[in-house]
Chain A
């Protein structure tokens, strides 16, 4: 249990882990719920006792859209909301298939990639074995 009111804050801890290729989630010691995005207080119960754990990386697409973009600017891309196995939802992108083929309910797994100009980026890939 780290002291969340001193030292690098949860935003910095998350970013540092991601830069090392690790996807970390917080879990509340008091109500046991997982928390994303990283915070210094649990939004479910108000507790400051949030501990870091490796995320399972498993998730399900909750909603998805194709952002239309001209081919010369890089073409269409996906933006999705992914419900993590642990509970929290996050915005991300599903790679490994056409942005038009991403569907709600699709099982996905996290992958940390090197994105040009952005560094490490947490995206999702279709999980083996189909629907969650």
Chain B
């Protein structure tokens, strides 16, 4: 038995979004359940068909219990592994294992939050870190600013390069009717935005919005019984090396440098095989770090790589095609949205932002302060 045995064995047969672009006066559970309803309808299923539940939350202490009760379902297995915003890509692994071993037949991954309307700022259940808290870092931006500053110092990455990431995300968002931020945006505007934690300005930061996402998974042998084209999980891998930024071994190298190669190995693929890339862009520096760590360019070259619209619509490498956390949505934890955008691209149903000839998508989740990293490779039927 080996990790590669999981390649292609799990299929995503339903996806759904909820609460986008905003959902005033609606609770997190209501937004999540809208997404669940849409995902189940997409798969031609009812809540009672779900017998495996994989979820996480910034508002519920025991989210599997709350979610199952609200939906009126009785899961045979639940998992709520909490590694931050990457959790939901991480949930692909226990879901795939539970399906393979017959512990469940229909797995549901879901998340929902009303952070945009309900709080207006990032809500976190994260506890203060004893040896960092006395210095009043702003959670989480100070940590990301320290990583960006180090990357700029070590490799000559420029603020303009960070701004290029924000502008590319915005240009994709302008093609997505559900994206929250769709106004024109220039590099000059990002550079001139109010500085929050040097070198990161307000426009280097992800949005704080409402939103929910849900995915329905089954064993691939049943995938063709469902109405929509199945999307297959080809490889998924997780890695985490630290919790707080002061414990990160090298602020210019994330654990994506480990999760990426393991996910590619499971899938039998390389970065050159990937048609669309969905990266967890909590801050502009993330996109640059993950492009490097996942092997799309060499370490230190991410800033130069994104220049001249390379990851924007019409560029060589389509990255964050829904507009990302920077311009589409970021309701606290963004993992489900990466997967859902990849599925929509692989099905060819992404509308104006559809990337032609998309067969393989990479989704990369980040959690904490560059702490947990989960990479997933998804493919259409031609990749099995």
Contacts and interface: CB of A to CB of B under 8 A. Distances in A.
A11 interface: yes
26 contacts: A11-B130, A37-B130, A62-B150, A62-B251, A63-B149, A63-B150, A63-B153, A63-B251, A64-B149, A65-B198, A65-B199, A68-B194, A68-B196, A68-B197, A68-B198, A79-B136, A79-B137, A79-B142, A81-B245, A89-B246, A91-B132, A91-B137, A91-B246, A104-B149, A118-B134, A121-B134
B131 interface: yes
B255 to A, nearest CB: 16
A87 to B, nearest CB: 12
A91 B198 contact: no
B181 interface: no
A91 B149 contact: no
B132 A65 contact: no
A92 interface: yes
A93 to B, nearest CB: 5
A74 to B, nearest CB: 10
Which has the most chain B C-beta neighbours within 10 Å: A68, A77, A79, A105?
Answer: A79
Interface string A87-102: 0011111000000100
B162 to A, nearest CB: 14
Contacts, number: 66
Interface residues of A, number: 24
Interface in B178-200: 194-199
Contacts of A65: 142, 145-146, 149, 197-199
B147 interface: yes
B61 interface: no
B135 interface: yes
B137 A67 contact: yes
Which has the most chain A C-beta neighbours within 10 Å: B131, B147, B196?
Answer: B131
A36 B194 CA distance: 35
Contacts of B244: 91
Interface in A32-52: 36-37
Nearest to B198: A66
Contacts of A90: 131, 246
Nearest to B196: A68
B138 interface: yes
A82 to B, nearest CB: 9
Nearest to B154: A104
Interface string A71-91: 000000101010000000111
A53 to B, nearest CB: 18
Nearest to B147: A63
A67 B142 contact: yes
A90 B194 CA distance: 28
A76 B247 CA distance: 25
